[in-house]
Every structure is written in C-alpha cells, then in structure tokens.
Amino acid sequence: MCLAIPAKVVELRDADLAVIDLGGVRKEISLALVEDVRPGDFVIVHVGYALQKVDPEEAEKTLALFAGLDAPARETA
Amino acid sequence: MKYVDEFRDGELAKGIAARIAIEADPSRTYHFMEFCGGHTHAISRYGVKDLLPASVVMVHGPGCPVCVLPIGRIDMAIELAIREQAILCTYADTMRVPASGGLSLMKAKAKGADIRMVYSASDALRIAQENPGREVVFLAIGFETTTPPTALVVKQAAALGLANFSVFCNHVLTPAAISHILESPEVRELGTVKIDGFVGPAHVSTIIGSQPYDYFAEEYAKPVVIAGFEPLDVMQAILMLVRQVNEGRAEVENEFSRAVTADGNAKAKALVAEIFELRRAFEWRGLGRVPYSALRLKDEWAAFDAERRFDMPERSVPDNKACECGAILRGVKKPTDCKVFGTACTPETPMGSCMVSSEGACAAHYTYGRFRNAA
Amino acid sequence: MSTVRTGYVRPLDVKRGLVDMSHGSGGRAMAQLIDELFLAAFDNEWLREMNDQARVPMPAGRLVIATDSHVVSPLFFPGGDIGCLSVHGTINDVAMAGAKPLYLTSGFILEEGYPLADLKRIVESMAAAAREAGVPIVTGDTKVVEQGKGDGVFINTTGVGVVLEGVDVSGAHARPGDAILVSGTLGDHGVAIMSLRENLTFETTIRSDTASLHTLVAAMVEAVPGIRTLRDPTRGGLATTLNEIARQSKAGMTIREAAIPVRPEVSAACEFLGLDPLYVANEGKLVAICGPGDAARLLAAMRAHPQGRDSAIIGEVVADANHFVQMETGFGGRRMVDWLAGEQLPRIC
C-alpha cells in the first residue's frame, strides 16, 4: 500500500518536526519515527511522517543495477 | 524530484525490459503476485505491462487496506458518527467505500454526519484538541506503514490528557495476509492460482524490514523480492524474480535497499509494540476471518479504543452476491471475470471495494487498462 | 440647534459593515449597496442608465452566450479570487467558440454576515479583470440569503459575444489525424486552491493561472481560421475535457505524457497528495484541436502570445469506436486517461 514519497529535509523544528522540500513544495512533517536526521538528508514521507531515511549510496547502487552495470548482481537481504 | 524522476526513466526501463525478455524462459510462464496496492497502482499507471513479455503475468494481491476493509467495519464507523455524533476523521481513501443501506462515509456526510477527511493522524488529534466538547474518533486503516503514526497519536493523546479522542483500529498485517493466500486451497492444493513468487511491499518493508519474509521463502519455497515504489523498481524486482525462478532459488532479495534494511525501523516497531497487540482473528473482505492478522489497542490504552469506549457491536455483513472482490483479492479471478465489472460496478458507482480504491485491481484496470480488453 | 445637512446619506461602512438581509430586500439599503459598491466599481454607460436591463447594439455575425456560476472556496487564493475568476471564466467560455466576448452580466448571492470589506475586494477585482479584458459588466442582480445558507459569496456571470461567419469551432469537430495542443502548464489553479484547504497545508509559490484568454483565441483563429475545437480544461482537468471532446466527436485520442507541460512544483504537490495533474483544474489554459497541416502554424501563433508561451502539441485524435483517451507514459508503457470518477480526493495509499 502506501503513497509515500522521498523528500529532502531542509529545516529542523521543535518537537520532532521538520520541513521537507519536494520539487519546491514545502511541508511540515514529523520526524518522531526516525532518528538522527539532519538537513540535507532525504526521508520517505507517508501521511505526514518520515518513515525512514533514504540511503544515498544504496540509491546509486540501485540505479547502477537498473542500467545493468552490475552484471547479474544478486543482492540477498 | 530527486529519488523519484531517476526511478521512472524510460530509457532504463527499456534496458530492464530487454533483459527480462532475454532471461524469461520461453517454454514457461511466470506468475508473480504483487502484494502492495501501491505496486498495483504503479503497474497500471505507468503501463508496465506493455514492457513485460507475455509469459510474465502479474497477479494482483490483497495489499490494499481499503479493499480488505469489510462492509461491517464501515457500518460501524458510520454509526459512530451518526449515533454518537462523533467527529469521525478518516483518510480520503475510505470515503467512497460502499457500506450497507446504500451508504458510504461520503454519503453519510452528505446526510449530515460530521465526517472529516484528514491527511494525517495528527490532524485528527488537532481536531480533538480544538473541539473539547465533542467526541473525536480517528478511523485508523492501513498495513504496517500507517500503524506507527497511529501509535504516536495515541501516545500523544495520553500525554495531553485528552478525554475526547479515540481510535477505531483497523490496522492489518502483511505477513498474515501472505500466509493466508499461500495456505488457501487454490494455491496449495488446487493450483488454480499459480504463484511463482512475490513482489514484496515497499513501504511496509521500511518498517518491518526484510527479515519477516524469510519465513515465506523457506516454508513455501517461493522467492520474494522487496521492490521500491517506482516503476523501475518494480521492473527490476520482476527481473530478479525471473532469475530466482530460473535458477531454482527461493530467497528474499531486497531491491529497495535504499530504504529497507533487514531489521526495518526499530523505533517505529517499538512504538507499535507499546500501543498495540494482536487480535486473535479479524475479518478481511474476501479472505474471511484470518488469524493473528490485525491489531487492537492494548488494555492500558483502552480509553482511546473506540470499540471499548463506545458500545460497538461487531458486525459482519456479507458482500453483494454479484461482487467478486473476494476472489479478485485472492488472485483467483481477474476484474474482467466479474459480471458487474464496468457495468453496475464502476469507479463512479462502485459496488465493492476493489473498485473504490484507486489501488484496487478493478479500479486500476478500469481506469488505466480497460482499453486492453475493449473490442 | 443642529444643522441638518440636506441630501446627505451616510455612506456604507465598508470597513466594519456586514451584509445583512436589508441589502437584498429591494429597498434603499440595497440601492445603496449597488450604487456605492457595484456601480462605482463597474461603471459604464449602461450601468449609469440604472435600468434593470442593458440595451446593447446587435453585432454582425452569430450571437454567442455562455453562463457560469462560481462557488469556489476559499474565496481568495494565490493569484486571484472568486471575483476575477468569474470574469475570466465566462469570457473564456464565450471565447472557446472562437468568439469575441462583448458584454458580461453578474448575479450575486451574498450570505448574511459577509464582511463588506471583503465584498469590496471581490468587486474591485472583478472590475479590474473586466476593464483589462475590455468586456464591461452591463447588468446584474443581488440577493442575500440567511446566514448558513450560503458560502459567503456565490457569483453567476453570463457572457455575450459574437462569432464571425465561417468560424465554426465545436467539440464535435475533431477528426482522426487532427493535432491536439495545450496553451501552457497544467494543474496550477487546482493546486493553488488545494494548498489552502484545511488539513492539506503545504507551502508553495504556485499561483492560480486564472486569466481571460480571448486575445489568445483571436490570434489563434486568425492564424488558423479552420480550427476545429477549443475548450478550457477547468473542473476535472485536461483528462475530463479530452474525454468530453472524444465523446462529442465520436473519436479516440492518443497523447504523450512527456509532451504535457506541468510545473515541477505542481508535479511535486500532486505527488504529495496522490493526485494526477491531468485531472486538476485550470483557469487560464485552453486545449485546441486543428488539422494536422495547421499544427505548426497554430503552435507558433500560440507561443507568440504572452498567455501561450508554454504551448505544446501533446497528441493526436485517432479513430476509435470506444472513444478512449489513451496516453503513452513517460515510462514507455500505455494507459488510459479515463473520465474522472467522483471527486478527486487526495489519497494515502
């Protein structure tokens, strides 16, 4: 399920709140479900809450996978 | 939009499609169930089907929490708004689900019930603070992704000492649903529903991690590839599933590694464990009563549990006889197999929940894909 | 002894006054409201006659009439308000016949208790929009309903225009092979409105695109007199408009997602809310359909106009007995662009 979208944290506010920016649209969301988030980090946002940070290295690896650059690379969890 | 646009790139899609076409064994078919409604929606919206060879068939699973919400539960919600004159706060998705007596939350609202659409659970909390003289009930739905926010607001309501806020809890669990499908006669014995592997849910997995799926891979010998939300993620996951099937493997692989780890989100899980406990069984639309598949508030939070706060007799209402939502949710039938699909049942006049939610298999097919079947 | 000033009427207290039932009763209070607020703002030779109707010269050509009622909420939004919206909306409806708008009427239904200061803002905004467009508001009506029976202000505007002989623009004229064009970015208005709705607050610099398009249309008709169809994609967005035309013309359509102009901010806002920009309302854009040989010339004429700078060719009309509107996604697959079902509600899943 779940409409969730990756967005960039641009400002931290009190009480576990933060402002995220997605394509120029800013919204206040809650960071109560994640830890150690800093401005510049990307988080996955769902119904007004950040669920998880986006790992930039893993994102790059995944994009490389799409391009077939890692030959049949198998990432077992 | 970073981490969005790159994952929708058409050129990369062609590359993955080519690889799937090469690696798919022409002498067999592959049936993969995508469990998550978000994946159903993405597949339809981007036309992923057009990039897959005919031998790879996607089977839509019951991963849409709106679709699996039984009529009786909506009736109960409407009753709260009408009988108790509560302000019922709900996500927009549930507004048009058809309930008994030709009603829906939207129609009840038109009749004067104070039903308000919210984007976030915290909005419901705010409404409770702003209306101290009224009862405010939050209709909580969703799989593991949406559960932590509900847990948070219950905790916050307690900390604020709110005396007028409660949650009508309909949170359901992914692994239980997957088990139920794999245990169903159609899959296990009859083989009428062939499932060769699962595309695992994206955002549920950010919370629960990849570890809970190990059980399915081992017990049922079915590969699971957890896929991100974007169409390239889905295609890559399909490629990885094809490879697993070809190589006779049944493992859990994580395509959505940029947001999913083995353990998931420990903080969120702990919060959920603090507030909720498992129900013995819960009725799922189309699946019947499924054991240990849903959550309710623990006793210490009973004051915030709408089912205990108000007198709410359990209601079980059978689906409309012509409605095939149940079979469709289990992957046994396709939308076009339903007699009322596209005629009596359309997104404008839905009869079942598969047509109401834009992630339901029927709505997705009707809205995005029915040109494929047209004469 | 007090001196009575003869002929003195205390003016409306616009700063603090509220609409009350007497303003709709037909008596002096109503006359004063009309005089000091509406007539003062809209001022023209017909209104100065102070009749219940306007007598205007009959133009050569065919008469075009259109009407629109405006119930937008909130009444004020980034880029506009219900006032200018009501002027632009009806001017556009007339213009979409390839016609020149000539006159407007305006009927107000005011809710008891509505602040006169806000009403004045709305009326002045309407007056400015009408003046800028060169289309006077020549007659109107005012009613007041009890508190709770209205939403502040409802406005109906009717527009009258003229279309020259030989210009035959209609939703039923699209033929297989015709090109489909849009005059600019989609979704701006709807997103601007949504950004103010309770429970959906997000910050954005997106403004409504509300505008009168009649001069753009005039330039287009001059460049391509044989233009087939014009329509502005308001409620229900581009998707609804294309489906309407497809049904009228008994044809199908194919459009390309990559060609459809959408501002990044509008895309992002739609992502947040789970909305599809194709279904989001526009108030300053139009869809045009023309013969394939005319497409390049039409596009050039549109882009040369300030309101058409971001114009694009987005697809073609095709033969299809089902009248489906289909789209080639940016991803490389195909999907339907169906009629809007119910209201576009933001979703969580």
Give the H/E segment covering residue C88. Answer: helix C82-95
Amino acid at residue number B185: P
Q: What is the token pair recorded at C136?
A: 């006077």
Per-residue CA distances from C268 to A6, A37, B317, C262 (Å): 11, 22, 40, 10
Q: Show residues of chain A in contact with C349, CB under 8 Å.
A: 1-3
Taking the CB of residue C3, how many other CB atoms lie within 10 A of it?
A: 5
For residue A52, the model assigns a pLDDT of 95
Cα gap B208→B178, rounded to integer Å: 14
Chain A CA closest to residue C203: A26
Q: Which residue from C199, C331, C345 is facing B8, i.e. has the nearest CB? A: C331
Torsion sign, CA atoms B318, B322, B325, B331? positive
Contacts with A22 from chain B: Cβ below 8 Å = 1
Could you say which of C328, C336, C346 has the minimum Cβ distance to residue B119?
Answer: C346
Q: How far is A61 from chain C (nearest CA, A)?
A: 21
DSSP summary character for residue C203? B
> Closest chain B residue to C273 measured between Cα atoms?
B119
Residue C63 CB neighbour total at 10 angstroms: 12
User: Per-residue pLDDT for B94 more than 50?
Assistant: yes
Peptide bond preceding C74 in cis form (omega within 30 of 0): yes
Do C177 and C315 touch, CB atoms closer than 8 A? no
- Please report where in the chains the tokens 């659970």 appear, as a residue: B121
> What confidence tens digit (pLDDT) does each residue in C173-203 have?
999 999 999 999 999 999 898 888 756 677 7
**Facing A52 at nearest CB: one of B143, B152, B206:** B206
Q: Which of A61-75, B83-97, B210-224, C86-100 has the highest mean pLDDT?
A: C86-100
Which of these CATH numbers, 3.90.650.10, 3.40.630.30, 2.40.50.100, 3.40.630.10, describes C179-336?
3.90.650.10
Q: Where in chain C is the domain with CATH 3.30.1330.10?
A: 21-163
Closest chain A residue to the Cα of C199, Cα to Cα: A48
As a whole number of angstroms, the distance between CA B99 and CA B139 comes to 15
- Residues C301 and C217: their CA atoms lie apart, in Å, by 10
* Residue A74: predicted pLDDT: 47
Cα dihedral across residues C54, C56, C58, C59: positive or negative: negative
Q: Do B50 and C333 touch (CB under 8 A)?
A: yes
* Weakest-pLDDT range from B249-263, B319-333, C70-84: B319-333
Please report, as a single letter, which amino acid is at residue C34.
I
Contact residues on chain A for C274, CB-CB shorter than 8 A: 3
CATH tag, A5-66: 2.30.30.140
Q: In this structure, what are the phi and psi dihedrals at residue A62, rounded to the nearest 5 degrees?
A: -65, -40
Average pLDDT, chain B: 91
Q: Using the predicted structure, report yes or no on whether residue B35 has a pLDDT greater than 70.
A: yes
Where residue A73 falls among pLDDT bands split at 50, 70, 90?
Answer: very low
How close does chain B come to C248, measured CA to CA in Å? Answer: 19
A3 touches chain B (CB under 8 A): yes
Q: Do A33 and B149 touch (CB under 8 A)?
A: yes
Say whether B38 and A1 touch across the interface (CB within 8 A): yes
C324 and B371: CB-CB below 8 Å? Answer: yes
CB contact under 8 A, B93 and C271: no
Nearest CB among C202, C347, C348 relative to A27 is that of C202
Of A2, A3, A22, the CB nearest to C268: A22
In whole angstroms, give the CA distance from residue B292 to residue B282: 7
Position A76 pLDDT exceeds 60: no
Locate the chain C residue with the closest alpha carbon to B8.
Answer: C331
Contact B3, B258 (CB under 8 A): yes
Distance CA A66, CA A58 (A): 12
Chain C interface disruption, residue of A1, A8, A21, A25, most C CBs within 10 A: A25
B38 touches chain A (CB under 8 A): yes
Predicted confidence band of residue C25 (pLDDT cuts 50, 70, 90) = confident
Least confident of B250-254, C49-53, C301-305: C49-53
pLDDT > 60? residue B375: no
Q: What percent of chain B has a predicted confidence (pLDDT) above 70?
A: 99
pTM summary value: 0.88
Reply yes or no on whether the pLDDT at C123 is more than 60.
yes
Question: Is residue A47 over pLDDT 90?
Answer: no
Residue A47 makes CB contacts below 8 A (sequence gap 6+) with B91, B119, B120, B121, B146, B149, C348
**B330-355: average pLDDT:** 86
Mutate to test the interface with C, among B119, B127, B131 (most CBs of C within 10 A): B119
Determine, for residues C333 and B46 on separate chains, whether the beta-carbon distance falls below 8 Å: yes
- DSSP of C103-166: EEEEEEEEETT-BHHHHHHHHHHHHHHHHHHT--EEEEEEEEE-TTSS-SEEEEEEEEEEE-TT
Residue linked to tokens 């120029």: A24
User: pLDDT tens digits, residue range B301-318?
Assistant: 999 999 999 988 888 888
Predicted local confidence at residue C68, as pLDDT: 94
Residue spans of the domains in chain B: they are: 71-172+294-309, 325-368
> What amino acid is encoded at B31 in this protein?
H
Return the percentage of chain B with pLDDT > 90, whole number.
61
8 A C-beta contact, residue C233 and residue C223: no
pLDDT at C348 exceeding the cut of 70: no
- Model confidence at A35, in pLDDT bands (50, 70, 90)? very high
Q: Using the beta-carbon criterion (under 8 Å), do A25 and C202 form an inter-chain contact?
A: yes
Burial label for B42, CB within 10 Å (0-12, 13-18, 19+), is buried
- Whether this model's ipTM surpasses 0.90 comes out as no
d(CA C311, CA C287): 10
CATH 3.30.1330.10 fits C21-163, yes or no: yes
Three-state DSSP at C257 gives helix
Whole-number average pLDDT of chain C: 92
Task: Please say if the pLDDT value at position B354 is more than 90.
Answer: no
Residue C342 has pLDDT above 70, yes or no: no
Overall average pLDDT of the C61-86 stretch: 94
- Smallest Cα distance from C79 to chain A, Å: 17
Asked if the model's pLDDT at residue C2 lies above 80, the reply is: no
Instruction: Name the residue among C317, C299, C335, C329 with its Cα closest to residue C242.
Output: C317
Among the listed ranges A40-44, B174-178, C238-242, which one has the minimum average pLDDT value?
Answer: B174-178
Residue C89 corresponds to which tokens in the numbers above?
């909306």
Instruction: Supply the pLDDT for residue C83.
Output: 96
Q: Is B200 on the interface with C (CB under 8 A)?
A: no
pLDDT digits 0-9 by tens, B112-168 = 999 999 888 999 999 999 999 999 999 999 999 999 999 999 999 999 999 999 999
How far CA B164 is from CA of B88, B91, B131, B136, in Å, comes to 12, 19, 8, 6
Q: From the CA of A32, how many Å to the nearest CA of chain C?
A: 19
> Residue B252 corresponds to which amino acid?
V
Q: Where does the pLDDT of residue B19 fall: very low under 50, low under 70, confident under 90, or very high at 90 and above? A: very high
Q: Assess C349–B contact: CB distance below 8 Å, yes or no.
A: yes
| Cβ–Cβ under 8 Å, residues B178 and B300 | no
What does the DSSP 8-state code read for residue C99?
P
CA distance C123 to C87: 11
pLDDT of residue B187: 76
More confident position, B148 or B371: B148
C148 interfacial to chain B (CB closer than 8 Å) = no
Which burial class, exposed, middle or buried, applies to A27 when counting CB atoms under 10 A from its CB (0-12, 13-18, 19+)? buried
From the CA of B12, how many Å to the nearest CA of chain A?
6
Beta-carbon separation of C338 and B348 below 8 A: no
Q: Is A77 in CB contact (< 8 Å) with chain C?
A: no
Q: For position C198, what pLDDT does the model report?
A: 58
The CA-based diameter of chain C, rounded to the nearest angstrom, is 88
- The pLDDT of residue B81 is 92
Report, as an integer, the average pLDDT of B62-68: 83
What pLDDT shows up at residue A70? 59
Tell me the chain C residues in contact with residue A5 when contact means C-beta distances shorter than 8 Å. 271-272
Question: Structurally, what CATH architecture does the domain formed by B71-172+294-309 represent?
Answer: 3-Layer(aba) Sandwich (3.40)
Residue of B nearest to C275 (CA): B358
Predicted confidence (pLDDT) at residue A72 exceeds the cutoff of 60 = no
Confidence of residue C346 (pLDDT cuts 50, 70, 90): low
